[in-house]
Chains A and B, each alone.
Chain A
Amino acid sequence: MRRVIVTMVFLLATIGIVLAGGRQEGNAASVGGEGSPFTIRVATWAVQESGTVPYFEALKNDFETDNPGIEIEWVGFPYGQLREQVLIQAAAGNPPDVVQTARPWLPDFANSGFFQPVTGLLSEAYIADIYPEIRSDLLYNDELYAAPWFYGPFVVYYNADLFEQAGLDPDAPPTTYEEALEAARAISALSDSEENRIYGLGMTTGSVPVSGGAVLTMLMSFGGGVWDEQGNLIIDGAGNREALAFLKTLHAERLNPEGALLKDLRNLFAIGRLGIYIDQTWGMNGVMAINPDAADYARIALPFGTENSPPRSTLEGHLLTIPADAEHPEAAATFIEYVTSREQLAAYMESLPFLLARSSLGDMPELQESIVAPIAAGAPGVITAVPKHPKMTDLFLELTKIAQMVTIGGSDPAEATAAARAWADREL
């Protein structure tokens, strides 16, 4: 009898396990009928960053006060994991309602089909207010797939004190790569008080996608890139070879810290051992976190062009997207318009330097007082739309690889571009 009871208990446990394997149907906490309170889930990496935590706490309070019945649940992931985690949640049929999205992820999201256009969800006036250069970069199949939270091109940050020590004019920074090379040589002749080397020009080439964006920005500014305007591959073109030859020179003369990630460049800039470097506008936050006094010597400029080509940059931005299976898409759109309102952006700008993606916000006093003010007017003009190829992240990693080939690998630029072409013919 005892055995029978034990056997029955184990069989019941087995049945329980089998039945428990069902799919989750909806978010119990957020299900409600019309007019019932509900919760929108916002996936973000920024909510985990210590510098912006107070802003996000205030944002949640403000939004819930101004929108009774809608609560916010932050779904925090580290930056490096958010893209994968959101796609997995979407594939499992349980995506968040709003996703903070780095610009390089947009092609993956749009191509995956797990995200929906925001065109019909955001107001027409709101969409029309976005700078055309930025709006065109966020289109996929002629539909707008993301709202820009804020943006920036890749910019040049330089150390005004080192400029003066090197006999350069800090009020007339280089505007071309040729001028930047001369400035870098002058700065690299300096050393700090402990006789440590000072690097002239920092270009990130580390094995991460964001470095690929920086490399692409450089390639485009030399007249190169991946595709021409007709969509033909130009990855092995003259512009790219010229850009890689420039990078090779930087490396050969030890003007650039080799294989650096952006955070390495920010750290070196913060401790006064880097004269000029290319970064996203909000990268200055990383510098200030290490050395708040960097505000005294840090200056900003638009990205370099060359003597034959104007400055160009990929769009670097924090975007907001809405998954196709979002439970509350309208509320998600309400959140997006709220978080990108003048008041909220002004509050966020206190903890992060960025540019505003809508023309009606250009007169904000907070923008005029920010470190990015000198480039605000010219920035939209350097943004260059890049096709939304589904292998964009892989492409960015491939671009870091060709940059590494000509620097630490010692390859010839033509050899590197030929390897890139072979890869592109196979993959793109």
Chain B
Amino acid sequence: MVTRLRVRDEFFGLALILPASLIVGALIFLPVAQSVAMGFVDYTLRRNQDGVSWNNFANFVYLIETGELWNSWRITLLFVIGVVTALIVAAVAMAIALNQRIPGQRLLRSVVLLPWVTPTMIAALLWMWILQPQYGVANFLLRRVGMIEQPISWLASIQWALPSVMVASFWRQFPFVFIVVLAGLQSIPVELYESAMIDGAGFSRRVFSITIPLLRNVIRVVILMSVIQSFRQFPLVWTMTGGGPIDATETLAVLSYKQSFVNLNFGRGSAVATVWLVTVLVFSVLFTRLVRTREY
């Protein structure tokens, strides 16, 4: 009798999750599986295409032999590491600063959120104007304060294009990271700081012995989300530089898009996307295993 009831419970549970599972499966897992499979065949966008067949890793071999995959992978890692590191450091610092009782605290918190409500495409166009070499405000200000003599072609320079796009990406993602860290900060009991102060702990001691350890779980989640967000940052890079100059900003996302939608070679585009997917998965698994959640 007990067994029969358990089976009915399980059937009932399965029935409840079946529609959602089908939707998720059809809209997420199926396209991902199809994309991975396409990476192993010759597939270009053509009408009446002959059947596709296994191509013996030709897409991957091409991408490795031309050096495109390695270049994009390296640029993507630089992009992700640079942006996420800057995000975490700046968000923690800003959250600590704006968690104090200072004049204009509410206004500042609201202003910090502005980039978050700006659509990515608009943000890209905005930064293109700011960084425009001849009449952009960045060069204008830097020349006014005497930091540069000649205008810098931020987005047309091999040296500066990637850092410029990273700054724009940082600006776009910062509010989300900041607000999550601030929320985490506000959940830390004030009594801990008060007792630390009674014991004579200074500001830096309180930050490194109370704030950072107690923010560990929040920072862990935020790093994971920022890494994923940065890995899939495409519209900003594509709009601002198109992957140039001379492939200096060709991230995996840009390379995948170029192969798929510029060359209409979905086989190669999917091969890039597969490498991209595996990279994110490996990072996520390693990160969640190495940096475990702690209970306080």
A12, closest chain B residue (CB): B19
A371-428 CB contacts (< 8 Å) to partner B: 390-391, 393-394, 397, 400-401, 404-405, 408-409, 426
Neighbour of B15 across the interface among A11, A112, A426, CB < 8 A: A11
A3 / chain B contacts, CB cutoff of 8 Å: 8, 12
Q: Could you tell me the distance in whole angstroms from the C-beta of A99 to the nearest C-beta in chain B?
A: 15
Q: Could you tell me the distance in whole angstroms from the C-beta of B42 to the nearest C-beta in chain A?
A: 14
> Do A394 and B262 have beta carbons less than 8 Å apart?
yes
A21 / chain B contacts, CB cutoff of 8 Å: 26
Q: Provided the pairs A11-B18, A426-B66 are in contact, do residues A401 and B264 lie with their beta carbons within 8 angstroms?
A: no
Docked complex Cα distance between A394 and B23 (Å): 36
Docked complex Cα distance between A91 and B132 (Å): 38
Is B242 among interface residues, defined by CB-CB distance under 8 A?
yes
> Do B264 and A409 have beta carbons less than 8 Å apart?
no
Stretch at the interface among B45-53, B80-88, B98-106, B199-207: B45-53
> Do B246 and A257 have beta carbons less than 8 Å apart?
no
B3-14 vs A, CB cutoff 8 Å, 1 = contact: the mask equals 000001001100
A268 / chain B contacts, CB cutoff of 8 Å: 134-135
Q: Provided the pairs A260-B156, A273-B134 are in contact, do residues A404 and B244 lie with their beta carbons within 8 angstroms?
A: yes
> Do A14 and B132 have beta carbons less than 8 Å apart?
no
Docked complex Cα distance between A207 and B156 (Å): 9
Is B22 among interface residues, defined by CB-CB distance under 8 A?
yes
B68-100 CB contacts (< 8 Å) to partner A: none
Q: Could you tell me the distance in whole angstroms from the C-beta of B31 to the nearest C-beta in chain A?
A: 13
Is B133 among interface residues, defined by CB-CB distance under 8 A?
yes
Docked complex Cα distance between A40 and B76 (Å): 43
A111, closest chain B residue (CB): B46
Interface size class of B (residues with CB under 8 A): 35 or more
> Do A400 and B244 have beta carbons less than 8 Å apart?
yes
B129-153 vs A, CB cutoff 8 Å, 1 = contact: the mask equals 0001111000000000000000001
Residue of B11, B46, B48 ringed by the most chain A CB atoms within 10 A:
B46
A21, closest chain B residue (CB): B26
Is A129 among interface residues, defined by CB-CB distance under 8 A?
no
Is A303 among interface residues, defined by CB-CB distance under 8 A?
no
Docked complex Cα distance between A209 and B244 (Å): 12
Q: Could you tell me the distance in whole angstroms from the C-beta of B36 to the nearest C-beta in chain A?
A: 19
State the interface size on chain A (CB cutoff 8 A). Answer: 48
> Do B16 and A10 have beta carbons less than 8 Å apart?
yes
> Do A394 and B16 have beta carbons less than 8 Å apart?
no
Is B261 among interface residues, defined by CB-CB distance under 8 A?
yes
Docked complex Cα distance between A91 and B11 (Å): 40
B156 / chain A contacts, CB cutoff of 8 Å: 206, 258-260, 404, 408
> Do B244 and A112 have beta carbons less than 8 Å apart?
no
Q: Could you tell me the distance in whole angstroms from the C-beta of B153 to the nearest C-beta in chain A?
A: 5
Is A208 among interface residues, defined by CB-CB distance under 8 A?
yes
B8 / chain A contacts, CB cutoff of 8 Å: 3
A208 / chain B contacts, CB cutoff of 8 Å: 242
A111 / chain B contacts, CB cutoff of 8 Å: 46
Docked complex Cα distance between A326 and B89 (Å): 55
Q: Provided the pairs A207-B245, A259-B153, A405-B246 are in contact, do residues A7 and B134 lie with their beta carbons within 8 angstroms?
A: no
B258 / chain A contacts, CB cutoff of 8 Å: 394, 397
Is A58 among interface residues, defined by CB-CB distance under 8 A?
no
> Do A114 and B47 have beta carbons less than 8 Å apart?
yes
> Do A108 and B242 have beta carbons less than 8 Å apart?
no
> Do B22 and A393 have beta carbons less than 8 Å apart?
no
A111-127 CB contacts (< 8 Å) to partner B: 111-114
Residue of A108, A112, A400, A408 ringed by the most chain B CB atoms within 10 A:
A408
Docked complex Cα distance between A393 and B135 (Å): 30
> Do B22 and A18 have beta carbons less than 8 Å apart?
yes
Is B243 among interface residues, defined by CB-CB distance under 8 A?
yes
Neighbour of B245 across the interface among A7, A13, A267, A404, CB < 8 A: A404
Docked complex Cα distance between A197 and B153 (Å): 14
> Do A271 and B135 have beta carbons less than 8 Å apart?
yes
Neighbour of A13 across the interface among B19, B47, B66, CB < 8 A: B19
Docked complex Cα distance between A273 and B132 (Å): 14
Q: Provided the pairs A112-B45, A112-B46, A264-B132 are in contact, do residues A7 and B11 lie with their beta carbons within 8 angstroms?
A: yes
> Do B15 and A10 have beta carbons less than 8 Å apart?
yes
> Do B15 and A7 have beta carbons less than 8 Å apart?
yes
Q: Provided the pairs A405-B246, A408-B156 are in contact, do residues A87 and B241 lie with their beta carbons within 8 angstroms?
A: no
Is A333 among interface residues, defined by CB-CB distance under 8 A?
no
B142-184 vs A, CB cutoff 8 Å, 1 = contact: the mask equals 0000000000010111100000000000000000000000000
A426 / chain B contacts, CB cutoff of 8 Å: 66
Q: Provided the pairs A11-B18, A112-B45, A113-B48 are in contact, do residues A404 and B246 lie with their beta carbons within 8 angstroms?
A: yes
A419, closest chain B residue (CB): B246
Q: Provided the pairs A206-B156, A260-B156, A267-B135 are in contact, do residues A401 and B244 lie with their beta carbons within 8 angstroms?
A: yes
Q: Provided the pairs A112-B264, A271-B135 are in contact, do residues A87 and B247 lie with their beta carbons within 8 angstroms?
A: no
> Do A91 and B45 have beta carbons less than 8 Å apart?
yes
Docked complex Cα distance between A343 and B27 (Å): 48
Docked complex Cα distance between A112 and B133 (Å): 39
B48 / chain A contacts, CB cutoff of 8 Å: 113
Query: Beyond the given A13-B19, A397-B262, A409-B158, could you list 15 further A-B residue pairs with CB under 8 A, ordered by the A residue number?
Result: A6-B12, A10-B16, A11-B18, A91-B45, A111-B46, A206-B244, A207-B243, A258-B133, A259-B244, A273-B134, A400-B244, A404-B156, A404-B245, A408-B157, A426-B66
Interface residues of A, Cβ cutoff 8 Å to B: 3, 6-7, 10-11, 13-14, 17-18, 21, 84, 87, 90-91, 108, 111-114, 196-197, 199, 206-209, 257-260, 264, 267-268, 271, 273, 324, 390-391, 393-394, 397, 400-401, 404-405, 408-409, 426
List 4 tightest A-B contacts by C-beta distance, closest first. Answer: A259-B156, A207-B244, A113-B47, A207-B242
Interface residues of B, Cβ cutoff 8 Å to A: 8, 11-12, 15-16, 18-19, 22-23, 26, 45-48, 66, 132-135, 153, 155-158, 241-247, 258, 261-264
Q: List 19 A-B contacts (CB under 8 A).
A: A3-B8, A6-B15, A7-B12, A10-B19, A14-B19, A17-B19, A112-B45, A114-B46, A199-B134, A207-B241, A257-B133, A259-B153, A264-B134, A268-B134, A400-B244, A401-B246, A404-B246, A408-B157, A408-B246
